[in-house]
Amino acid sequence: MGALASTSLRAEEDPLIAENDPVAKAVKYVEDATKVKESEGNRCDTCSLYTGKDGASQGGCQIFKGKQVKAAGWCASWAPQM
């Protein structure tokens, strides 16, 4: 988190969603996609709902308003980028 902490870009001010947040749990969100077989190699930074920047360690997700997700995370709502 440290490297991004000093930025003033809007989305990067949002807190990271917790795995035990009820909304996160509802879609089986995890911070490390490699820990769940269901992810099948997919992760947040290859998901069409992810709004983080290329190369960032975390970023926004359209299903978690006002929160960020880990680039290396995953959830059951993963959808391919077109």
Q: Which of 31, 47, 56, 58 binds ligand SF4 (CB under 6 A)?
A: 47
User: Least distance (Å) from ligand SF4 to the CB of residue 76?
Assistant: 7
Centre a 10 Å sphere on the Cβ of residue 5 and count the other Cβ atoms it contains.
8
Q: Residue 6 or residue 10: which is nearer to ligand SF4 going by CB? A: 10
31: contact with ligand SF4 by CB under 6 A: no
47-81 residues labelled b (16+ CB within 10 A) or e (exposed):
bebbebeeebebbbbebbeebbbbbbbbbebbeee
Question: Where along the sequence are the contacts to ligand SF4 (CB under 6 A)?
Answer: 29, 44, 47, 49-50, 61, 63, 69, 73-75, 77-78
